């Protein structure tokens, strides 16, 4: 069985800029909310993406699957849950979900496959050791 790491939830407030003319969150913004939660999780694990970039290594998305369930609306208070599933030293899956705080309604769910890429070698490589260490302790 693959190991799972639960990240801290990320709270989101829906601003007018996040919505279309009807006050409904534009679908692409859910991907941004997911990205913010993944970045926050890495930061909480003391992984600096800016440092990795300086070293020529970047996190890349291989696949994203998203299921839209209920629309989020202007002024909603949402939270993003994220769990990292260890698949191998070169492949992780983020299982993410956005919910409305007041009602606990599920807005959408996503599964994001992430790899780590060395721009100098022009190929995928193992994730940083401090990230992999999380799964050795789970």
Cα–Cα nearest to 9, from 57, 54, 52, 41: 41
What CATH homologous superfamily does 4-136 map to? Hotdog Thioesterase (3.10.129.10)
pLDDT digits (tens, 9 = 90+) for 86-97: 999 999 999 999
Domain boundaries, the chain: 4-136
What radius of gyration, in Å, describes the C-alpha atoms of the chain? 16
Tokens at 100, concatenated:
């409305």
The answer, yes or no, to whether residue 71 has pLDDT greater than 90, is yes
Backbone angles phi, psi at 74, to 5 degrees: -50, 135
pLDDT of residue 138: 61
The answer to whether residue 20 is catalytic is yes
The answer, yes or no, to whether residue 20 has pLDDT greater than 60, is yes
Tokens at 117, concatenated:
């890429």
Q: Which of 9, 18, 20, 89 is labelled catalytic?
A: 20
pLDDT digits (tens, 9 = 90+) for 89-136: 999 999 999 999 999 999 999 999 999 999 999 999 999 888 888 887
The answer, yes or no, to whether residue 66 has pLDDT greater than 60, is yes
């Amino acid at each position: 069985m693959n190991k799972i790491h639960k990240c801290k939830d990320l709270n989101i407030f829906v601003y007018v800029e996040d919505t279309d003319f009807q006050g409904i969150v534009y679908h692409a913004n859910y991907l941004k909310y997911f990205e913010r939660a993944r970045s926050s999780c890495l930061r909480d694990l003391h992984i600096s993406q800016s440092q990795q970039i300086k070293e020529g290594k970047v996190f890349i998305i291989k696949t994203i699957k998203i299921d839209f369930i209920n629309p989020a609306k202007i002024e909603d208070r949402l939270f993003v849950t994220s769990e990292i599933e260890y698949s191998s030293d070169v492949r992780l899956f983020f299982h993410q979900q956005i919910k409305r705080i007041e009602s606990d309604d599920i807005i959408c769910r996503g599964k994001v496959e992430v790899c780590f890429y060395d721009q100098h070698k022009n190929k995928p490589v193992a994730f940083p050791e401090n990230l992999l260490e999380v799964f050795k302790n789970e």
